[in-house]
Amino acid sequence: MSKPETTVCAYIGLGSNLADPVAQLRAGVSSLARLEQTHVEVCSSFYRTAPVGRLEQPDFINAVCRVRTGQAPSTLMRNLLEIEHVHGRVRKGDKGGPRTLDLDLLLYGDRAIHTAELTVPHPRLHERAFVLYPLQEIEPDLVIPGRGALRELLPACAGQRVERLRD
């Protein structure tokens, strides 16, 4: 008798503000769908959002995908970084700057992970409208481990500009 595969529900944030951001997100979702042991269950709409931190840059296009994966969190994160690299992302340690494609592992089941390479839940997801609004669209009753119910976190982000794009 074969052992059933164990999978985990994970949420991945996507963002871009360079080189045709809508096309970058579409390509990012396609790349996620090709990952081994990973199935994209649902993706949010795309949202145009104001930059956070460094304001002198183009608006971002953001989305969130829920995936079911058999990959360990560290393996999944390495694969996300590789997808970014393939799509032209250059990481220079400059957080919040322009990028072709950004993929963040937001949540991995209900696990809290704190290693040198990875922090899950993503450390600022509860403060970011560009993450919370797409999450709300696909999982309105979601509870963020260590932070609380998604619907309780949204009011703190009310001043951040977020516009859902039409399909």
Catalytic residue among 89, 91, 111, 128: 89
Which tens digit of pLDDT belongs to each residue from 97-141?
A: 888 999 999 999 999 999 998 999 999 999 999 999 999 999 999
Among residues 137, 163, 164, which one has the least CA distance to residue 150?
137
Q: How does residue 96 score in pLDDT terms, banded at 50, 70 and 90?
A: confident
CA gap 148, 145 in Å, rounded: 6
Average predicted confidence (pLDDT) for the chain? 92
Write down the domain spans for the chain.
8-164
DSSP 8-state class, residue 123: T
Annotated catalytic residue 102: yes
| Structure tokens that stand for 76 in this block | 């999944």
pLDDT tens-digit map of 20-76? 999 999 999 999 999 999 999 999 999 999 998 777 899 999 999 999 999 999 999
Q: Is 89 a catalytic residue?
A: yes
Q: What is the pLDDT of residue 97?
A: 81
Would you place residue 151 in the very low, low, confident or very high pLDDT band (cuts 50, 70, 90)?
Answer: very high
Res 94: pLDDT: 64
Give the pLDDT confidence score for residue 4 in this predicted structure.
47
Candidate list 48, 66, 102, 128, residue with the active-site label: 102
Q: Which of 20, 26, 68, 104 is catalytic?
A: 104
* 104 given a catalytic annotation: yes
Structure tokens at 92: 């220079």
SS3 122: coil
Q: What mean pLDDT comes out for the span 9-18?
A: 97
Q: Which of 34, 59, 78, 99 is catalytic?
A: 99
pLDDT at 23: 97
| Cβ pair 120, 9 in contact under 8 A | no
> 80 CB contacts (<8 Å, ≥6 apart)?
12, 103, 104, 105
Task: Output the pTM of the full model.
Answer: 0.93
Three-class SS state of 146: coil
Q: Does domain 8-164 have CATH number 3.20.20.70?
A: no
